[in-house]
Amino acid sequence: MHMANATASVPHPTLEAEEVYRRWLQFLDDEFIRHCSPERRSEIVRDQLYQLYLGRPHGGKLNLTLTSELPGNVLSMSLDPENVTLEAEHFSDVDMKRFAERKPLLWFWQMFDRSPIGLNHWLGIRFRCMLGRHLFEHMGSGVKIYHGVDLSYGYNLSIDDGVIIRQRALLNDRGGIKIGKGAVIGSFVRIFSHSSLPDDIDHVKLTPTTIGAGARVGSHEILLGGTTVPDGKVVGSFPADRA
- Residue 19 CA to residue 49 CA, distance in Å, equals 20
pLDDT of residue 59: 84
Pairing of strands 194-197, 200-206: antiparallel
Tell me the average pLDDT across 174-198. 94
pLDDT of residue 237: 84
pLDDT confidence tier of residue 79, bands split at 50, 70 and 90: very high
**If you average pLDDT over every residue of the chain, what do you get?**
92
Q: Is the pLDDT of residue 20 over 90?
A: yes
| Cβ atoms 145, 125 nearer than 8 A | yes
Q: What is the secondary structure of 83-100 as a DSSP string?
A: G---GGGG-TT--HHHHH
What are the tens digits of pLDDT across the range 140-154? 999 999 999 999 999
Pairing of strands 144-145, 164-165: parallel
Q: Phi and psi at residue 79, in whole multiples of 5°?
A: -80, -10
- Output the furthest CA–CA distance in the chain (Å, rounded): 67
What are the tens digits of pLDDT across the range 46-72? 999 999 999 999 987 888 888 888 898
Q: Which CATH class is domain 136-238?
A: mainly beta
Among 78-82, 106-110, 193-197, where is mean pLDDT lowest? 193-197
CA 11, distance to chain mean position in Å, is 22
- Residue 26 CA to residue 142 CA, distance in Å, equals 17
Q: E strand or H helix at 206, and its extent?
A: strand 200-206
- In the chain, what percentage of residues exceed pLDDT 90? 80
Tell me the average pLDDT across 215-230. 97
- In the chain, what percentage of residues exceed pLDDT 70? 95
| Cβ atoms 181, 151 nearer than 8 A | no
For residues 101, 90, 208 and 37, what is the CA-based torsion angle, rounded to 10 degrees?
0
Q: Phi and psi at residue 122, in whole multiples of 5°?
A: -60, -45
Tell me the average pLDDT across 22-27. 98
User: Which whole-number Å values give the CA distances from 188 to 40, 113, 139, 218, 220, in the listed order?
Assistant: 33, 15, 21, 9, 5
- Residue 108 CA to residue 86 CA, distance in Å, equals 12
Within 10 angstroms of residue 129's Cβ, the number of other Cβ atoms is 19
Q: Is the pLDDT of residue 239 over 90?
A: no
What are the tens digits of pLDDT across the range 109-143? 999 999 989 999 999 999 999 999 999 999 999 99
Q: Is the pLDDT of residue 1 over 50?
A: no
Where exactly are the structural domains of the chain? 15-134, 136-238
pLDDT of residue 242: 46
Considering only CA atoms, which of 192, 197, 234, 222 is closest in space to residue 210?
192
Q: Is the pLDDT of residue 9 over 90?
A: no
